[in-house]
């Protein structure tokens, strides 16, 4: 019974991500170690103590701390977008291809997330088409969405591409259906339209000419006989 329980415990720990607070404790503990301390003994004891704390009721707070961290990070990005931090500090001035090629490998994760968040908020705003975005933002959006080459090889381009909205109206205006049997509104209520009348008149004239010629030939034949 002990062995299956240990197997289930190892599987649970393997699936569960390491809490951020535990990583912070470990980093702090490693930074505080000096050459005079019995490093191996203290490291094992403190590590076991931290692992044991995962099974205490307070371990539920670790997940809450991680969720709170994500909310704070999201709020920080939103605040930076609203203050136009992207074009004040990250990409101030004119953006050229050489600027993008030089700066993108040096960007931090926060700056990359700031670019994606700025573009996402612009994309969600259906009232402003892509062609009306500021030119630097159009350049960044195009640079991120099309192609993985050069300095962009480390950027995962697995998000769904979208086509920029170039028209002023997202939906085409529905036209009124026309009854082909009635024709144009001017001919509504008439038996025949002008084109049909012209064809019928031409056919009638051709028929009259053909009949008259046929009668003339018959008269000539009767006279010869």
CA 32 remoteness from chain centre: 46
Going by C-beta distance under 8 Å and a sequence separation of 6 or more, which residues neighbour residue 142? none
Digit-coded pLDDT (tens) for 44-78: 666 666 666 666 555 556 677 778 888 888 888 88
With 70 as the cut, is the pLDDT of residue 33 above it? no
Per-residue burial over 27-49, b if 16 or more Cβ lie within 10 Å, else e, is eeeeeeeeeeeeeeeeeeebeee
pTM exceeds cut of 0.75: no
């Amino acid at each position: 019974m002990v062995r299956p329980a240990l197997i289930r415990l190892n599987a649970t720990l393997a699936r569960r991500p390491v809490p951020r607070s535990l990583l912070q404790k470990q980093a702090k503990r490693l930074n505080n170690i000096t050459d005079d301390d019995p490093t191996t003994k203290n490291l094992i004891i403190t590590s076991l103590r931290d692992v044991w704390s995962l099974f205490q009721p307070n371990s539920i707070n670790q997940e809450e701390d991680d969720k709170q961290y994500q909310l704070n990070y999201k709020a920080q990005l939103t605040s930076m977008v609203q203050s136009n931090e992207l074009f004040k500090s990250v990409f101030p001035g004119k953006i050229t291809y050489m600027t993008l090629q030089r700066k993108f490998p040096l960007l931090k994760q926060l700056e990359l997330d700031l670019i994606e968040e700025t573009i996402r908020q612009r994309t969600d705003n259906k009232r402003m088409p892509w062609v009306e975005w500021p030119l630097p933002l159009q350049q960044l959006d195009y640079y991120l969405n099309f192609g993985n080459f050069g300095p962009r090889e480390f950027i995962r381009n697995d998000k769904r591409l979208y086509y920029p909205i170039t028209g002023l109206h997202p939906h085409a205006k529905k036209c009124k259906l026309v009854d082909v049997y009635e024709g144009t509104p001017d001919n509504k209520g008439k038996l025949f339209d002008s084109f049909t009348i012209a064809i019928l008149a031409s056919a009638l004239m051709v028929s009259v000419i053909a009949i008259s010629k046929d009668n003339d030939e018959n008269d000539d034949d009767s006279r010869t006989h």
